[in-house]
Chain A
Amino acid sequence: MEKNFNLDIISPESILISEKVNSVTIPSFEGEMTILVDHIPLITFLRPGIIKVEGSKQSQFFAEEGTVEFSNNTLIILSSTITSLENIKNQNISKIIEESKSQLTQDNLSDKAKYILSHKVDTLLKINQ
């Protein structure tokens, strides 16, 4: 039996990945979830975090937000702020962290914005280690 399903990761500028994979772990808004073959149809969206793809080869992406749909064994991830982890390491992460941290200290933030920003900082710190 086939144990893999289709994954499409699409940003407005290009298609990052379109291949068959075994499992994908996504930072869904309410917590991490791993999607395997024959998952029930699902629509959700992402908080900042790392997307882990396991298939013929492993790859990791960092996304700040995005929309996820799974149906008929096809997983579609749409995100305008997605970059592969190798790419983001070349960028100046510490600077982004500092910026996010200073945003966090502002008073007029909604709970949701705080939640998203704190996750962004956590994830980036983890990457930076």
Chain B
Amino acid sequence: MPSLDDLRKRISSVKSTQKITKAMKMVAAAKLRKAQEMAEKGRPYSDKMDLIIQNLSKAINDPSNAPKLLVGTGEDKTHLCVVMTADRGLCGGFNTNICKLAKKYFDEAIKSSKNLKIITVGTKGLDQLKRDYGQYIIKRINLKDKKKLSFLDAEEIGKQIVELFKNNEFDKCFIFYNKFKNVISQIPQQQQVIPAKVENKNKKDEEVSSYEFEPDEDEILDDLLPKNISTQIFKAFLENSASEQGSRMTAMDNATRNAGDLVDKLTINYNRSRQAAITKELIEIISGAESL
């Protein structure tokens, strides 16, 4: 049985933890609103970009001459995985969920004897992956110092990936991130960015062939495909940051509630021991008086 003093100390320490988690929850809620807005504003851009690429790729008659970024190298040996996580912890299962999905994929790739290359974005993912997959990690990108993610950051990463692809460092590229569904649920996603995924819908030839290209398809694709990769990464950034805040908000909400429960329990304990001490003293006095 802890003494009254110990209990009192514990109660006040839990209370101050509760204050911290409550504040973190409120900060996350405010940041979430901003991040969600950004994610929503960024969607039209990537949607339209996708549409243009779909239209363009339908217009290509000769797949063997098409840019490799679109159709792939034709091989499936080396996979590049870009794992995007947060730079901060205390956000529930956010980082772990991405890493879990990524690890599952890594194990499969290793089993089917494919070469694996990993780029980590964000420090938390690196921490979780470096022990088991350290030898595969070729690049660590750290965005901790950035206050606000801009398209330029995404473009920088996109350029690095395209550069690697041009040096024939890999055949396929995937990005891992959390898709923001709503505040309480974020879904870890694996998305293929190289070769660009083109849905094979029924070709509407008459409509497509009437497009006029200036200068020509190849040059436009050369310009557009790297941009598309940056756009996808930027989209992942936005989804990720909204998910991170959402996840943190939920986690902190739970923590605050747990702390509340704990305080209640400790307070009952405290009151009981206090009462027990009083009763004990009374009994002592009464029995002392009786013996006289």
Binds A, one of B39-47, B239-247, B257-265: B39-47
Q: How far is the CB of B38 from chain A (nearest CB, A)?
A: 7
B41 touching A13, Cβ below 8 Å: yes
Say whether, besides A67-B52, A80-B151, A40 and B210 are in contact (CB < 8 Å).
yes
B223 touching A41, Cβ below 8 Å: no
State the CA gap A100–B38 with chains docked (Å): 30
A41 touching B212, Cβ below 8 Å: yes
A84 within 8 A of B: no
A71 within 8 A of B: yes
Binds B, one of A42-50, A54-62, A87-95, A121-129: A42-50
For B154, list chain A residues within 8 Å (CB): 12
A44 touching B213, Cβ below 8 Å: yes
State the CA gap A76–B213 with chains docked (Å): 15
Report which of A10, A44, A71 forms a contact with B45, defined as CB distance below 8 A.
A10
A29 touching B49, Cβ below 8 Å: no
B41 touching A30, Cβ below 8 Å: no
B interface SS class: helix
Q: How far is the CB of B215 from chain A (nearest CB, A)?
A: 6
B211 touching A42, Cβ below 8 Å: yes
State the CA gap A88–B38 with chains docked (Å): 22
A1 within 8 A of B: no
Q: Which A residues between 1 and 21 are near B, CB-CB below 8 angstroms? A: 8, 10-15
State the CA gap A28–B38 with chains docked (Å): 29
Q: Which B residues between 237 and 277 are near A, CB-CB below 8 angstroms? A: none
B220 touching A41, Cβ below 8 Å: no
For A30, list chain B residues within 8 Å (CB): 214-215
Report which of B46, B207, B220, B227 forms a contact with A43, defined as CB distance below 8 A.
B220
B214 touching A28, Cβ below 8 Å: yes
A12 touching B52, Cβ below 8 Å: no
State the CA gap A13–B38 with chains docked (Å): 7
B214 touching A44, Cβ below 8 Å: yes
Report which of B41, B52, B213, B220 forms a contact with A78, defined as CB distance below 8 A.
B52
Q: How far is the CB of A15 from chain B (nearest CB, A)?
A: 6
Q: How far is the CB of A76 from chain B (nearest CB, A)?
A: 5
Q: Which of A29, A30, A67 has the most CB of B within 10 A?
A: A67
State the CA gap A73–B101 with chains docked (Å): 43
B162 within 8 A of A: no
Q: Which residue of A lies closest to B152 (CB)?
A: A80
For A15, list chain B residues within 8 Å (CB): 41, 44
Q: 13 A-B contacts, Cβ less than 8 Å apart?
A: A8-B48, A11-B151, A12-B45, A13-B41, A13-B42, A30-B214, A43-B52, A43-B56, A43-B214, A43-B220, A45-B223, A45-B224, A71-B55
